[in-house]
Amino acid sequence: MKLHRYGLLRDSFHLPAQMESVRTLWRLRIRHVQEAGRAIQHMQKALTKMNVQLANAISDLSGLSGQAIMGAILEGQRDPWQLADLCDPHIRASREEVAHSLQGNWREDVLFELRQARDSYHFTQQQMAACDRQLETYLAALPARTLDPPPAKRRRKASKPGNEPQVAGLQGELQRICGVDLTSIDGIGPIAALTILSEVGTDLSAFPDEDHFTSWLGLTGTQNSSGGKAVKGPRRKVKNRVAEVLRMGATTLLNSQSYLGARYRHLRRNAKLPAVAVKAMARYLAVLVYRLAAQARARGLQLVPLPTAN
């Protein structure tokens, strides 16, 4: 209270009120994704308890083939060859390998456990779809920023949607709200861009410079000194969702042929531990995000209110 009275305390970062609804929905959806992952592990554990090694033939039990086979098992099908015929033709494992992995002891109690885990997985999928519909409504209500001239669109390699939210034109919607294309940075996809938007918003002017921003994320090292000499001290433990997605984005640059990929590989070669290189690369990605936001602010991008219905 005394420091605050003398004006020696700085204000903490507060997300704009219009972004709080997006943050709430996005954090809720992340919890549903984690619950879906636990349900998949539960299904795999139940199959293993019955000595059904389906995971050795099909890597993703949540895919069409895995769900079709488990649905047939719960309906009473026990013939491994008929179960193997339910696999998608693109499965790498042969029909014989899949049939061999489906020979187990069908215990009624574990089958009940498998049914519960599968129902839980489908329920979380429905919850994620509901979050996607509500999130699409909230994103559409956010004001836009003018873009002059529009940034050039890059051709990206097609990939599986995975856990990406099923929002129509998500990348274009994020670009409309932010005024810049955050996904133009290698290692930052739609999920990372939406996490950044929901956690820090579109205006980073609350941070004086990029060093303050990366320090707030916990991506900077500690420099403790005593008598002019560096001494070891306790490490900062900062738990930040934006820093987590930037770390994951840094790890995806290992095989990238871009400048960022070369920079990350250089950091890995010179770092004592891989985690040090990941943190350093995540900091650089955060710097690029801050510079893009500062560039948009310097260009004088103005908020454009959405047209109201008559």
DSSP states of 220-284: S---EEETTEEE--PPP----HHHHHHHHHHHTTTT--SHHHHHHHHHHHH-SSHHHHHHHHHHH
Beta bridge pairs of residue 226: 229
Q: What is the pLDDT of residue 142?
A: 87
Q: Which residues of the chain have pLDDT under 70?
A: 146-162, 233-234, 300-310
Task: Return the H-helix or E-strand segment holding 304.
Answer: strand 303-304
Beta bridge pairs of residue 225: 230
Q: What is the pLDDT of residue 159?
A: 45
Q: Look up residue 57 and give its two tokens.
A: 């033939």
197-213 in b/e form (b: 16+ CB < 10 A) is bbbbbbebebbeebebb
**Residues 26, 195: Cα–Cα separation, whole Å:** 7
Task: Return the H-helix or E-strand segment holding 224.
Answer: strand 224-226
Q: What is the pLDDT of residue 233?
A: 64
Quickly count helices (H) and strands (E) in the chain.
12, 4
Q: What is the pLDDT of residue 29?
A: 94
**Residues 63, 55: Cα–Cα separation, whole Å:** 12
Q: What is the pLDDT of residue 38?
A: 95
